[in-house]
Amino acid sequence: TPSTLFDPLLSSAFSALFFKTLSHLFSSPIHLCPALGEIALCPNNHEVHIYKKDGTKWTKIHELKEHNGQVTGIDWAPESNRIVTCGADRNAYVWTLKEGTWKPTLVILRINRAARCVKWSPKENKFAVGSGSRLISVCYFEQENDWWVCKHIKKPIRSTILSLDWHPNNALLAAGSCDFKCRVFSAYIKEVEEKPGPTPWGSKMPFGELLFESGGSPAAAQTSGASGGWVHSVCFSHSGNRLAWTSHDSTLCVSEGGKNGTLTSLSSETLPLLCVTFITENSLVAAGHDCYPVLFVYDGAKGSLTFGGKLDVPKQAAQKGISARERFQNLDRRASETQNTDKDLNTLHKNSISQISVLEGGRNQCTKFCTTGMDGGMGIWDVKSLESAMKDLKIV
């Protein structure tokens, strides 16, 4: 059972949760359904486990077993209460709760490599799956045949899709790929929705249309020598007018207004960032291999992206005696029984943070967000408390 680690000095800023099981590599995402107080996660195997919060305890209430390979993506649609999962077995399943158990429905993605990520669209009538087959499978339910069908977006993707994010209009889809590009496609499916109106990203949106591709001009590449890295994470702002993405070359970029708009990038001094989200229309929080979340501020008028501050409070707690359980946890997480303060990471997460999710307030006025990491830990961060706990931190 997971234990709750609770440092009284920092209790207002965040509470931390560590899953003391085999699940140390949360490279498989967790999905939180804050409305129900439940979490769906993959403990680094072929299964999905659902935990429910009971006061301060978390109890496992379901085990979803159907995949034949590592589960690589989970997304929970809160309105329709359905879960979609995708895995290394090249399949996706849509799970619905029937009489107290989650029942899977197979969705054939027609891919010949592992699925890597999955996201429900805002209206929950479609979902998109990124895979190693260098394409995106956009799936929707066909009433007449009572099954899920999918359409492929292939051109001009040239490598694995690592991340996806839907625009609030339910039609546009951003995709980050290992071919070093971030793109915006139209995933408009006429069978399930009305034609979307024009947006700053474009007005003609047939399915599969490429509306934006990062990578800049050769001129830009020459001056900075920047040719990018794998695009780990993509995120639309609440309005959908801005798109942010993080790359393996330790950069964060924001595009506003698509092809004919602006592209602002920041070369970070940190290790690569693996995940990013907007918390207001101007502020972003990203995290990655440095194991702590970072605030960035985007100024559309000035076209600037700046570092806003490190969002982690180093532990200043006095050394106390170590319990047997803590010894075991340290051994599990760090291969050493004691917390050696010299080489110790003084951050909440002891390994890379792989995912960041907004829990409350949405992407325009986020009040709580959650980070999950490869240390098997999940941290819940309170934005107001962070602002007061950290001098000079201003969230605009």
Phi, psi of 358 (to 5 degrees): -80, 130
Contacts of 328 (CB under 8 A, 6+ apart): 20
Q: Which residues contact 86 (CB under 8 A, 6 or more apart)?
A: 71, 72, 73, 92, 93, 109, 115, 116, 117, 118, 129, 131
Q: Which of residues 259 and 289 has its CB atom nearest to other proteins in the complex?
A: 289
Residue 213 CB, nearest distance to other proteins (Å)?
Answer: 12
Q: What's the CA gap between 282 and 347, in Å, rounded?
A: 26
CB of 251 to other proteins, least distance (A): 8
- CA gap 164, 184 in Å, rounded: 10
The token pair at 244 is 């942010």
Least distance from other proteins to the Cβ atom of residue 215, Å? 8
Q: State the minimum distance, in angstroms, from the CB of residue 172 to other proteins.
A: 25
Indicate the residue among 223 and 341 with the shorter CB distance to other proteins.
223
- By beta-carbon proximity to other proteins, the closer residue of 188 and 230 is 230
- Residues that bind other proteins in the complex, under the rule CB under 8 A: 134, 158-159, 179-180, 218, 221-229, 248-251, 267-272
Residue 107 or 157: the one with the smaller Cβ distance to other proteins is 157
Contact in structure between 83 and 74 (CB atoms under 8 Å): yes
Strand, helix or coil at 224? Answer: helix
C-beta of 3 vs 159, nearer to other proteins: 159
Long-range contacts (CB closer than 8 Å, 24 or more residues apart) made by 382-390: 382/12, 382/13, 382/14, 383/279, 385/12, 385/13, 385/14, 386/13, 386/311, 389/10, 389/12, 389/13, 389/313, 390/309, 390/311, 390/313
Using the minimum distance from each CB to other proteins, give the nearer residue, 2 or 288: 288
Rg over alpha carbons for the chain, rounded to the nearest Å, is 21
Query: 308 or 376: whose CB is closer to other proteins?
Result: 308
Q: Which is nearer to other proteins, 222 or 319 (CB)?
A: 222
Q: What is the CA angle 16-273-393, rounded to 5?
A: 65
Q: Residue 3 CB, nearest distance to other proteins (Å)?
A: 33
Taking the complex as a whole, the smallest distance from the CB of residue 26 to other proteins amounts, in Å, to 22
3-state SS assignment for residue 358: strand
User: How would you classify the pairing of strands 172-177 and 161-166?
Assistant: antiparallel
Q: In the complex with other proteins, which residue's Cβ is closer, 224 or 340?
A: 224
Least distance (Å) between residue 227 CB and other proteins: 5
In angstroms, give the least distance from the CB of 225 to other proteins: 5
Quote the least distance from Cβ 298 to other proteins, whole Å. 17
Helices (H), 215-322: 218-224
Nearest Cα residue to 94 out of 141, 154, 47: 141
The two most distant CA atoms of the chain are separated, in Å, by 65
